Structure 1
Amino acid sequence: MQDTTTDFSHVKPGDTPYRGEGLRDFFQYRDLGIAAATHGKVIAHLVRAHSAPEKGTGWHRHEADFQIVIMLKGWAKFMYDDKETLVEAGDCVHQRPGLVHYLFDYSPDMEYLEIVGPADFKSIDAPAPCAVPAPTPWDTPADTQKVDRAA
């Protein structure tokens, strides 16, 4: 039996540019066409650093059934509940539904693949379970500005 609830999708790098319109203004997002192909069941996008971490994401949780982050380049530091976690290139993190977390630091070259279901998941502010370390300053004055990236 053929699945007719999803469509075939093939997105090449030049098909969808990185955009600043997303959950966080200090990141850029590249849509991979999965939300459209799955009719909203799942979203997959690439996320990359756009400017230096000043305050991070803040404590929050997602109303989602499934979420993974696969770090492609660089690194990011998260607080998951009260545990600091370094996520480096090659790492895969499954964020269980409702997990309270905070992305508070990342490298200028940070880029990750995020896959979430459903596509229209909600991000809900959450009370802080603990203090968060300060982000590491980027090395050069230019690094503290927006990262120069071709779309």
Structure 2
Amino acid sequence: MTDEFAPTRFSHVKAGENGWRSDGLRDFFLYRDLGVAEATEGKVICHLVKANMAPEKGTGWHRHEAHFQIVIMTKGWARFMYGDQDTLVSAGDCVHQRPGIVHYLYDYSPDMEYLEIVSPADFKTVEMPAPAEVPPFTPWS
């Protein structure tokens, strides 16, 4: 093993550990840390994200200062704008959000849950001007 991998540690977070928290990036989502940021000393974060409140305004247009980001939808669905492209992401779908892509998560189902993996763990989010109009969200009944 080379020194480049030496700072990472084995990690195993069981289903009942690291409960859902509301103090993540968005207050309308809940986050469950999966221990990867600590195990990789901040090289990668891996967490589950799920809907906590009905969509009202979404995330707003933004980009992340990250080298790598994927979203794997595990339950429900979410609608994103990637630039001017409206994208429905459903359970089982995987999206690689290339570095710097301007996007907006604006609608999601009540059971929406996704796995997000980002590098580095302490990535920054930067608000951006709107490159396109965002369709209306679907109110929960």
TM-score (norm: length of structure 2):
0.97
Task: Check if 1:5 corresponds to 2:14.
Answer: no
Listed one character per residue, the Cα deviations across residues 52-90 of structure 1 (whole Å, up to 9, x for unaligned) are 000000000000000000000000000000000000000
* Alignment equivalent of 1:63, drawn from 52, 65, 77: 65
- Write the distance in 1 (CA, Å) between the matches of 2:70 and 2:132: 23
Letter aligned with residue 48 of structure 2:
L
- Write the distance in 2 (CA, Å) between the matches of 1:128 and 1:76: 19
- Write the distance in 2 (CA, Å) between the matches of 1:6 and 1:130: 41
Matches within 5 A, 1:12-31: 12-31=14-33
- Residue equivalent to 1:149: none
Task: Check if 1:72 corresponds to 2:66.
Answer: no
Shift of 1:15: 1.2
For residue 21 of structure 2, give the secondary structure of its aligned residue in structure 1.
coil
What is the count of residue pairs matched by the alignment? 139
Shift of 1:134: 1.0
- Write the distance in 2 (CA, Å) between the matches of 1:47 and 1:58: 17
- What runs of 5+ residues in structure 1 fail to find an aligned partner? 140-151
Task: Check if 1:116 corresponds to 2:118.
Answer: yes
- Residue equivalent to 1:98: 100
Letter aligned with residue 131 of structure 2:
P
Shift of 1:14: 1.3
Q: How much identity, in percent, do the aligned residues show?
A: 72
- What runs of 5+ residues in structure 2 fail to find an aligned partner? none
- Write the distance in 2 (CA, Å) between the matches of 1:118 and 1:80: 21
For residue 133 of structure 1, give the secondary structure of its aligned residue in structure 2.
coil
Shift of 1:13: 1.4
Letter aligned with residue 31 of structure 2:
Y
Q: Which runs of 4+ in 1 moved over 3 A?
A: none
